[in-house]
Structures are given as structure tokens and as C-alpha cells.
Amino acid sequence: MAPSRLDDTAINAPVPIYKKTNAVVPPSPASSTGSRTFGNTSMIESKFLSNPEDLGVVAVGFSGGQCKPGVDAAPSALIEAGLLTQLRDELGYNLYGHDTVHLYTDLVPADDPPHRNMKNPRAVSAVTRRIADQVYTQAKEGRLVLTLGGDHSIAIGTIGGTAKAIRERLGREMAVIWVDAHADINTPETSGSGNIHGMPVSFLTGLATEEDESIFGWVKKENQISLKKLVYIGLRDVDKGEKRILRENGVKAFSMFDIDRHGIGRVMEMALAHIGSDTPIHLSFDVDALDPMWAPSTGTPVRGGLTLREGDYICECVHETGSLVAVDLVEVNPSLAPPNDIGAHETVRAGCSLVRFPPVPLPRAKPSNLVSNQRCRQNNSYDSTSTVTSGSRSLVYSRRVLSERVHKYHWPAVQLNLWMLIMLIAACTIIGVFSTFISTQQTLLLPIPWYFPYYITVSSLCVFFILLLLFLIFQRRLLPSIVMIGGFILFVLWLVGLVVISVQLWGPSGSVSSNCNLYVFSQESRGQSLETLAWLQQRSICQSWQAVFAFGLVGAVFLLWIMVIAYQVFADDAV
Ligand SMILES: NC(=[NH2+])NCCC[C@H](N)C(=O)O
């Protein structure tokens, strides 16, 4: 590993609040001998990281996305506070890239006039482009990537780099959970401040584009994310233009209002359900999402934010999904605190708390009437009360949210919809064909075999079952047990019908199939005669038999399939 270094002396500028220690993580005896165990990290099984015990660190001392100096000192402050040591020694990560705090001074041009209302456009573009490369390199190795900012403009680089690596490594699109008081989705045109830290999401989603390579023209499709895979949490200061963008694009956003109304547990459940369980997640955490009580030292604080515990919970929850591939912690500005105030220290401590990703969830009691398929999908009654004591100050902050307990299962929507559609087609076809057969028998004054009305009844039951499922889906009460029991009963009834149809088609006595082959399919009749009409009628009857058999078979297989799906949903929940 390269020798430890800080690439700019500015990083050594005193940060008076903390006891100053070596900014570089000292080697631990365990990691030097390579004998460290990862018993803890293995508790949460990572779905998308090939080396989940490895942590790529990108420390970004950059503040050009906004105007207040000091946010560039955050990475060293966080490191000095012991963040990386904790991640390595307590949580057991192998660290990569942790030995340098990047200041990118070589990339900042002497002259950088505004462009389309953006301040420092070339500097921010060049720096974020370099960050994208750095994050990409780490993410390509299948490591979890942690970026310590810096202002939030750096997310153009971090998300741009992760998105590209995930596409290349897994061929997938990733989702972004953006935890922030602000939406940061201004385009250069809607932004009132011209600060690029209020615009990263618009460049990352293609809402804002530029041809010029030196002003974000380097952000290509491979670096972008879909607006559908973006979820906001903690919003409370959204500009007018941003509100319009969010509304017009149907972006999933949970504001503080939603958190107050539902509780953070339910909000996380909804956020993760929106993303789906098979999508890698990049978590971009702006410390100003926390209430200024917990994180006062930040450039754009907004009152009425998350408690520290809620912030921690968000991180724990996302980590617990096993889908986390990268994390940003941004907008910590240790210099924004009155002299002798403990605010900067608190903010840095809050930052450290957020990125702990406790690999071993504490044992939790599972409420007996709560059924959930993901640990973080629990919808608990939530009551948080916390006390902050800083010097002579002592504040009590509390939020009490009582929400209903609900049963929640994660059904695969596409499969379920496909199943209902195909089953509906099969059942309706069978009802249609056998109704026609009955009326033909009646017209010919022939007796009606029992299996015609039988199969019509079974198919009607099937249609009724599908309607019941739809009703339960709309009520959000679709239980796997209902589907399994209903599916099983229908399967048995359906199979009886299918066996009878098969016997009629190919059985020993008066096989329909051989009669059709012999008298219909092999003897074609043409011309405008009664004989041809009769032949056509016969042929359509034969074809109807074939259709009934085909749909009967499909129906039987699909009824089996729905039982398997229901069992999986049920089993998932038991994990
Ligand atoms: N990452 C942040 N702190 N963003 C604050 C953005 C504030 C404001 N919406 C702007 O565009 O200027």
C-alpha cells in the first residue's frame, strides 16, 4: 500500500474542536498479519458486493459546489474523530484508499467564470469527474465504497462512478436513496443560488445536460440513474422549481411530514419497497438531513429535521437489505460553529455515527402479530426521545409516532400480474368453449356430458378467485396462505377436468382426437355447400377441443406455479 499522505497542506489546518490525532489510520496488528476475522460482517449477506468485507474510502476535501469555506476540512475531521479506525478495528473492514485526503487543487482552474448560472462550473466538473474515476475503481473491485465529502456536488462523481461500475460489473441499474433536507435537483436554470451542490441530481438523472466535456459533458448515460430509482428521505426545504420537477417526474420523496405521519420505520419500508429487493443501492447522506440540534455545523441547516437515531436507523436499514454498494457522507462543515461551541464536534460525531453500518443487528423481539419479509420492513409503533447535553445546554427532543401494525408481504408484482392475466385468459376460454358445446348439444338434442358444466364451474371459480386476489391486493391484505389454499383447491378441481378432457381426446372409447383426424382434418371440404359449412363447424369444434386442452394444461401448470410463489413469499417472511 502507498505510504500515507495528505495531498495538500490545507488538510492539516487546525480543527480546534477535537483532540487532533494522526489523520491517517494507524495500521492495526490484525490487518498487518492478515489474521482479522470478519465474523461480524458476514452476518449481513451482501447481494451485490463480491468483497463485502472490503471498504474503498474516497476522502474528498472539496467545497467548490457552494460558497462557504470549511466543508473541505470534513474528511480529515471525521478521520481524526476515529471514523476509519472504528470501521476497521471495530467493524472489521479492510480499508482501501484511506491513506489520502484528496483536495484536487491541481484541477481547479485559475479562471472559472459562471456558465448557465452555475458557479465554479469547470472546477466542480473536473473534480467530480476525478471522483467518478476514483469511486469507479473501488466499486469495480466489488467493494463497498465510502466517500467522505465535501459538499453535495461531489455526488455527481460518486453516483456517476458507482452507476458505471455496477452497470459493468452486474449489468444492472442501481437505485439512489438521497437523505437530505434539500432535493438538490435544481437545473442550472431553476437554481436561485447558482451553487452546484443544489444541482447534482439533475445532472445525474439527465434532467440537466451539457455538451461541453469540461462542464459536465463527461456525464454520460453510463453514469446516470433513473428518476424511477431515486428516493428522497428527510426533505423540508425544496425550491419551487424543484417541487415542479419532483411532481412532473413522479419522484418518490418522503418529507419530514411523511416521517412524522408514518414513523421512520414505515417510511423505510415504503422506500425500500419502491426500490425492490433486487436493486443495488447507493446511499447519499447529507448531514443537513439531521436536525441542526444534532448536526449544526453544516452550510445550509434547516430546522425540523431527523433525530440522530432516525438517521442511524436509515443507514442501518439500508445496510440490512444487503443491497448497499456505496455511501456518501457530505456537507459536514466543522468551521461553521461559533468559537468554543461544541456544535462542530457534535456534527462530526453524528457523521461518525451514521456510517457505522453495524454489521450485527442487535437481537430484536418480533412482535407476535407482526409479519414482515424484511427486517427493515417492520412497521413498529415508534417512540423516540433523546437528550442532547452540550456544555450547559440540555435539550430534550422527542417525536412520538404511533402507527398501525400491518401484515406486509413482498409479492413479486410482475409474476403475480402475469399469473392473473394468463389464468383469466385460460378460464374464460374454457368457459366460452364449453358453453358453446352445451348449446350445440342442446341444438342437436343430445345429452350434455357432466364435465362440460363441471369445467365451466371450475373456471368460474378460478375467475372468482382472481377477483378475490385483486380485491385483497387493493386492500393490501394478500396473504400467502389464502393463495396457497385457494390455489391448491383449484388445482385439484382443475386437474380432474384436465384428466377427463384428455381421456375424451385420446382415451380408448370414442377418442375425439382420432375422430377429428379421421373425419375432419384429413378430409377437407371446399365450395359453397352445406357440406362445407358442416365441415367448417366440425373443424371449429375440433380446434376448440385442442384449445381447451392447451389452456387446461397451462392453467394446471400456472396453478402449481402460484402455489410455489406463495410459498416463497411465505418462506421469505420467515427468514
Ligand atoms: N446540498 C445542499 N446543502 N444543498 C442546498 C441547496 C440549497 C438550494 N436549494 C440551492 O439550490 O441553492
**How many angstroms separate the first and last alpha carbons of the chain?**
40
Span of 39-48, 109-118, 150-159 with lowest mean pLDDT: 39-48
d(C-alpha 108, C-alpha 465), whole Å: 65
- Residue pair 231/271 in contact (Cβ under 8 Å)? The answer is yes
**Three-point CA angle 22, 346, 80, nearest 5°:** 5
State yes or no: pLDDT of 34 exceeds 90: no
State yes or no: pLDDT of 410 exceeds 50: yes
- Active-site option among 112, 210, 269, 286: 286
Report the residue among 62, 182, 199, 329 best suited for mutation to probe ligand 1: largest number of ligand atoms under 8 A from its CB: 182
Nearest residue CA, atom 8 of ligand 1?
198
Least Cα distance to 147 among 123, 131, 166 occurs for 131
72 is catalytic: no
CA of 288 to the centre of ligand 1 (A): 10
Q: Answer yes or no: pTM beyond 0.80.
A: no
407 is catalytic: no
Question: Using 50, 70 and 90 to split pLDDT, how confident is the model at 466?
Answer: very high
Question: Using 50, 70 and 90 to split pLDDT, how confident is the model at 83?
Answer: very high
112 is catalytic: no
State yes or no: pLDDT of 204 exceeds 80: yes
What number is the average pLDDT over the span 201-209? 97
What number is the average pLDDT over the span 336-348? 84
**DSSP code per residue over 89-148:** IIT-PEEESTT-EE--GGGS-S----BTTBSSHHHHHHHHHHHHHHHHHHHHTT-EEEEE
- Active-site option among 98, 115, 197, 282: 197
Predicted local confidence at residue 363, as pLDDT: 58
State yes or no: pLDDT of 127 exceeds 50: yes
CA of 197 to the centre of ligand 1 (A): 6
pLDDT tens digits, one per residue of 470-523 = 999 888 888 889 999 999 999 999 999 999 999 988 888 778 888 888 888 888
CA of 264 to the centre of ligand 1 (A): 23
Q: What is the ipTM of this complex?
A: 0.99
Between the alpha carbon of residue 295 and those of residues 20, 111, 246, 364, 401, the distances in Å are: 20, 34, 26, 28, 22
Nearest residue CA, atom 7 of ligand 1?
198
262 is catalytic: no
Cell output for 71: 466543508
Classify the phi-psi angles of 510: left when phi > 0, otherwise alpha if psi is within -120 to 50, otherwise beta: left
152 is catalytic: yes
CA of 58 to the centre of ligand 1 (A): 23
Closest atom, ligand 1, to C-alpha of 193: 12
State yes or no: pLDDT of 16 exceeds 70: no
Q: Please give the single-letter amino acid code of residue 93.
A: Y
State yes or no: pLDDT of 194 exceeds 70: yes
Residues of the chain with pLDDT > 70: what percent? 83
8 is catalytic: no
State yes or no: pLDDT of 9 exceeds 70: no
Q: Is 59 helix (H, G, I), strand (E, B) or coil?
A: strand
90 is catalytic: no
- Active-site option among 242, 331, 345, 346: 331
- Residue pair 52/92 in contact (Cβ under 8 Å)? The answer is no
**DSSP code per residue over 395-452:** EEEEEEE------B----HHHHHHHHHHHHHHHHHHHHHHHHHHHHHHHTT-PPPTHH
Report the pocket of ligand 1 as residue ranges, CB < 6 Å.
Answer: 152, 182, 184, 186, 191, 193, 195, 197-198, 239, 286, 288, 299-300, 331
CA of 145 to the centre of ligand 1 (A): 24
197 is catalytic: yes
Predicted local confidence at residue 341, as pLDDT: 79
